[in-house]
A = this chain, B = another copy of it.
Amino acid sequence: MDFFYEFASTYSYITAMRIAPLAQAAGVTVRWRPFLLGPIFKQQGWETSPFNLYPAKGRYMVRDCERQCAALGLAFRLPEPFPQNTLLAARVAAAVMAEGWGEDFSRAVYRAQFAEGRQIGSPDVIREIVRDLGRDDAVLAHAQSDAIKQKLRGATEEAQRLGIFGAPSFVAGDELFWGNDRLEQALAHAKN
């Protein structure tokens, strides 16, 4: 099953923190697919997060995430400003996914951003996250290479072709599922 996630997405944070044990219990292999929602939102005429464009929805999202996280024993804190620029984080994730620590890196970025409210748009913060994972921060330069830029662009274009319009999204066979609330259903479908 493919798990498409955007680092600025609060509900992707919740999924990222709970998907591994659920997938293991279901016997489903999950492919983590970082992508960017920005270009997809732009095509819909949105220049920022819908949670900023529609304030009532934004206020509700914060309260809903607080409740969902509390039930799961997760901290929740919105960084200032929201959304953060997630381009570098997504490129690093795309760069290291094949090296076997992409999931750990992604969870660490989410934790820094939405549990600790840190500025994950800052290269310094990303560098610190990489070092805290015991990895070489040369990956930050590698992440800015044309090959990695193209890899991330390709994932975003593929998401768009698949009809993805938000995050997290799950693709299992011919079925698309949207939202942390559909994680269990997506895994059940992928299992069959």
* A residues in contact (CB < 8 Å) with B: 44, 54, 56-57, 59-60, 63-64, 67, 163-166, 175-178, 181-182, 185
Contact = CB atoms under 8 A, between A and B. Distances in A.
A164 B54 CA distance: 11
A60 B185 contact: no
A37 B182 CA distance: 25
B163 A56 contact: yes
A4 B2 CA distance: 35
A185 B181 CA distance: 12
In the A-B complex, the 9 residue pairs with the closest CB atoms: A56-B165, A181-B181, A57-B165, A56-B163, A44-B54, A60-B178, A59-B163, A60-B176, A54-B165
A69 to B, nearest CB: 13
In the complex, the count of this chain's copies comes to 2
Contact of A185 (B67, B163, B166, B176): B67
Contact of A178 (B54, B64, B165, B177): B64
Given A57-B165, A60-B176, 4 more contacts: A56-B165, A57-B166, A67-B175, A181-B181
A67 B173 CA distance: 15
A63 B175 CA distance: 9
A145 B178 CA distance: 42
A9 to B, nearest CB: 15
